[in-house]
Amino acid sequence: MITVKCFARYRALLGFSETERPVARTLGDLLADPCFADLPKDALLAVNQSFADRATPLADGDEVALMPPVSGG
């Protein structure tokens, strides 16, 4: 299983702060699941606490984090 954690406004947007999902081949395949349909395309993605893109391969036990983009000065 893959643990998916949502941060900040994505908790309300997706309706959960943490969920378990079956293992997918890549992060993009995981995010194709309908439960992530409302996730904006500019979301920051991380796998095992390292920033990642949708082509990143996944393995059983991985932790995925979904975070809104940040800005500031």
pLDDT of res. 73: 63
The C-alpha angle with vertex 56 and arms to 54 and 33, in degrees rounded to 5, equals 50
Q: What is the pLDDT of residues 11-48, one digit of tens each?
A: 999 999 999 999 999 999 999 999 999 999 999 999 99
Q: What is the mean pLDDT of residues 63-69?
A: 97
Assess if residue 56 is contained within a domain: yes
Give the pLDDT of residue 15: 95
Element (H, E) at 51: strand 50-52
- Total count of domains within the chain: 1
Query: Within 10 Å of residue 34's Cβ, how many Cβ atoms?
Result: 6
> Could you tell me the pTM of the whole model?
0.93
User: Is 15 within the bounds of a domain?
Assistant: yes
Is 17 or 70 the better-scoring residue by pLDDT?
17
CATH code of residue 49? 3.10.20.30
In-domain check, residue 53: yes
- Tell me how far apart the alpha carbons of residues 34 and 10 are, in angstroms, rounded to a whole number: 15
Domain that holds residue 17: 2-67
72 domain residue, yes or no: no
**Does residue 73 form part of some domain?**
no
